[in-house]
Structure 1
Amino acid sequence: MIKKICLLLTLALVVSCGSSKVRTTPTKITTTKKHTTVKSHSGTTRNNSSSSENSRPSEVLEATSKIKVTTEIVNAYIGKFNETAKENMRNHGIPASITLAQGILESGAGVGTLCIKANNHFGIKCHTGWTGDSVRHDDDAEQECFRKYSDPAESFRDHSLFLTTRSRYAALFKLPKGDYAAWAKGLKSAGYATDPKYPDKLIGLIERYELYKYDSEVLGSGYTKPVIKKDTATVSVETGAGTYRVAQGDTLYSISRKFNLTVDELMKINNLTSNAISIGQVIKVKS
């Protein structure tokens, strides 16, 4: 009997202990948000919340659409096509400097859409009688017909033929082959471009990148670098009030060099959206 009572007490005690709850304290996990950095393709490290980029001299070219290119891109274009331009000068009489300047301006130094997809460096449209390949491209109107070439050299040759076979450009070939300034103005007078600044743009490119040296290489001792005459009404002058009056042949790049500024700084000071400037325009050279 006593054994039974003890057994019952033991069972009661076990049941009582098993029914009690065990309290656990959850572990608190705290996460810390770290500041991250992003590495650019150039290998420089920048903050993910703000970044800065070194400015490089650049300019906006026509190329049947506005295209921003760097000096390096323009120089690469010149290095690639200066021999082609000189060969065309020997064969057709068009200054190599003019051909290169037009190619740079109108192809966006080779990176323009039309140049890439059609090897068309001069924006030549199909015109009546064109039987070669063509592409459609938005220009003055939507989806206009432009000539397509299998090789850039064909585009350069076609550009030369375009000028030599049309009567309205005949007066150009009476000009000295080394006088790029006269050729630039002559192209505008003959109706090659409607942009009133077209001659200044060509001359600016020729002088900035010294394209006249390729004329000299073709003409040899017969070459004389033209003297660019300044319009007396718009001679380059500093006004004495931190401004500068633009003269023929001036570019933002040449002005920036004169006043120890960058092109981007000049554009910012003058609230310019492109590097296009005109003769007689007064621009700030001090902030």
Structure 2
Amino acid sequence: MKKVITVTLFCIVSAVLSGQTTRELYEAYISRYYRLAQQQQQLYGVPACITLAQGLLESGAGRSLLAQKANNHFGIKCAGDWSGSTFHKDDDTKDECFRKYKKVEDSYRDHSLFLQRPRYAELFTLSLSDYKGWAHGLRRCGYATDPAYAGKLIKLIEDYDLLKYVSQTDDVQQSDQPTPKSHKATKHKHNGKVHAKPAGKTSNVASPDPQTDTLTISPSSQIKTAASQATMGTVDLFAEHKVMRNNHRRYVVAREGDTFQSIAMEFNIRLSAIYRYNDIRNTGYVLQEGDKVYLQLKRTKAAKRYATYRVRKGENIWQIAQDKGIQIKRIYTLNGIAEGQDVSLNQELRLR
């Protein structure tokens, strides 16, 4: 992406000569796209300040050839399983293939999804306000080849006070919902084993553990998009489920009749990714009402208040992993448990 940034700087110089200052260009870009960056933060956990800084840097405040001809604001190339439109230009090598989008919103969402890849998983263990950690992590994980990439992002965030957009997500509010009533235990399978599973009616509104840090997206801030745009990766923010947050990860609570496939389609996420985010290896598992379904990779450690956890009656290791928002393989590793082995009543587990 080195040449992409060089070309964008040329575009900025041209704009300056035409009467606009670099600061005016950057401020106009921020004003135009900060709400879009905040929506991506709410849905996918990518800090709004990082998204804005990358958009500014990679697209030259929206004035680069790639941004203007392909609506690509993040320099994302066609590598992998990209089957959408393309745009070719010289970059690190001659005539490289870049992704082309119908509109800028699609580029922003594809950027968020691009960062959900396993190579970037370590970034999501950082807080949203740790912009320096995110900037250095992006460079370390190989997002860009420029050795000064992290420093450039940090400078943009500090020069334009982009961190304020991380906390100024006014359309996100604390969830204040009742604890679900206790239910009878039913049986369900995970990884081929039968475990006890709480069952019964739950509210149509997600009802998490009152001790869990949860967030919901307010309908007043949501922007409806046409269903026909889903093929380009545009989310219908008026989806049936409320997106909530547990251990800094986004999830929804399954309702009666939901399947992993229906939730994957609702949020336009690959089914294989939904399975991976939720540690589902036995794809024959039937989603139960009240199950948490994560929309992004869970963290490698639980919240500090759950440094240790004692197994309760009827719980299994998968339920604990889902409830605390931690990857199940990390529970195995932290506690020296063989993969596939379950836990026993009153067993004390390390979760971080």
TM bracket (short chain): 0.5 to 0.7
One of 20, 25, 32 as aligned partner of 1:80: 32
**1:70-109 paired onto structure 2 within 5 Å:** 70-109=22-61
Q: Deviations over 1:41-83 (max 9, x none)?
A: xxxxxxxxxxxxxxxxxxxx92655333511111110010000
Matched, 1:62 2:14: no
Residue 230 of structure 1: aligned partner: none
Residue 152 of structure 1: aligned partner: 104
One of 106, 115, 123 as aligned partner of 1:163: 115
Residue 275 of structure 1: aligned partner: none
Distance in structure 2 (CA, Å) of the matches to 1:75 and 1:220: 27
Residue 10 of structure 1: aligned partner: none
Matched, 1:205 2:156: yes
Q: Could you tell me the percent identity over the aligned residues?
A: 52
- Aligned partners of 2:8 and 2:59 also within 8 Å: no
Distance in structure 1 (CA, Å) of the matches to 2:28 and 2:67: 15
Counterpart AA for 2:145: T
- Aligned partners of 1:86 and 1:214 also within 8 Å: yes
Consecutive unaligned residues of structure 1, counting only runs of 5 or more, are: 1-60, 223-287
Matched, 1:195 2:146: yes
RMSD between aligned alpha carbons?
Answer: 2.0
Consecutive unaligned residues of structure 2, counting only runs of 5 or more, are: 14-21, 175-212, 214-352
Residue 80 of structure 2: aligned partner: 128
Counterpart AA for 1:192: Y
Counterpart AA for 1:179: D
Q: 1:112 to 1:169 in 2, by over 3 A?
A: same
One of 174, 177, 180 as aligned partner of 2:128: 177
Q: Secondary structure at the match of 1:66?
A: helix
Q: Secondary structure at the match of 1:146?
A: strand
Q: Secondary structure at the match of 1:195?
A: coil
TM-score normalized by the length of structure 1: 0.53
Distance in structure 2 (CA, Å) of the matches to 1:137 and 1:65: 13
**1:219-234 paired onto structure 2 within 5 Å:** none
- Aligned partners of 2:77 and 2:97 also within 8 Å: yes
Residue 344 of structure 2: aligned partner: none
Residue 71 of structure 2: aligned partner: 119
Distance in structure 1 (CA, Å) of the matches to 2:136 and 2:101: 28
Q: CA deviation at 1:183?
A: 0.6
Q: How many residues end up aligned between the 2 structures? A: 161
Counterpart AA for 2:164: K
Q: Secondary structure at the match of 2:115?
A: helix
Q: CA deviation at 1:93?
A: 0.3
Counterpart AA for 2:124: F
Q: Deviations over 1:76-122 (max 9, x none)?
A: 10010000000000000010000000000000100000000000000
Distance in structure 1 (CA, Å) of the matches to 2:6 and 2:25: 14
Residue 313 of structure 2: aligned partner: none
Residue 8 of structure 1: aligned partner: none
Larger Rg: 1 or 2? 1
Distance in structure 1 (CA, Å) of the matches to 2:105 and 2:36: 7
Counterpart AA for 2:101: Y
Q: 1:109 to 1:65 in 2, by over 3 A?
A: closer
Q: 1:65 to 1:110 in 2, by over 3 A?
A: closer
Q: 1:83 to 1:63 in 2, by over 3 A?
A: farther
Distance in structure 2 (CA, Å) of the matches to 1:111 and 1:100: 14
Greater than 3 Å deviation, 4+ residue runs: 63-66, 219-222
- Aligned partners of 1:184 and 1:202 also within 8 Å: yes
